[in-house]
Structure 1
Amino acid sequence: MSEYQYYEFQAIDQPLDDQALADLRSLSSRADITPTRFVNVYNYGSFRGDPKLLMEHYFDAFLYVANWGTHRLMLRLPRRLVDVATVKLYCVGDNLSVREKGEHVLLEFLSQE
């Protein structure tokens, strides 16, 4: 039985520059990489990159889906738009987490069925 993992990152606020594109290409030779997105599907093996680090440095949205029931969504938002204390009230268990990084807040939603 094969596995299926789908990774998609989106750059919304600004496109990726040439250096960022080269950095991403070093993580995967098969990924579909443009100045606004990174998409890769794995049927065997796994992605070498760390989605949290990629979100901190390059992207504004991330979606991960695996055929064994894991679904993960991350959003990077400007800190000035998010009341982190209020969001933390909803961080019960592993379904929602929030962390601050520089001028941004990263929200991570996780579902494992």
Structure 2
Amino acid sequence: MSGANALRGEAELMVGGRRLVLRPSFAALVAAEAELGPLFGLVERAADGRLGLGELAGLFWHCVGERPEVLTREAVGEAVVAQGLAAVTPALRVLLGQILQGR
């Protein structure tokens, strides 16, 4: 799998030693919105420091571009916890920027 393309608003997340590309496609964001509520509310909660761990992992899960069959949502959440919020914040910033600005 190739690396993330910043021009497409993509980010990377390490899960189980594998680098995953987070691609905020229309389908991915619609799925995230269906589960997590309106995306603008998600952005507001993130800006206010009120974005929950489950919401963060959910957004990442829906945005995994080429999801390996063996990847589970739990593994994504565990990777976020293992790396810490500071380490995954750059990926979150990229996704939230894409949500706000579009391409």
The TM-score normalised by the length of structure 2 is 0.29
More relative contact order, 1 or 2 (CA 8 Å, 6+ apart): 2
The TM-score normalised by the length of structure 1 is 0.28
Structure with the largest fraction of strand: 1
- Max radius of gyration: which structure? 1
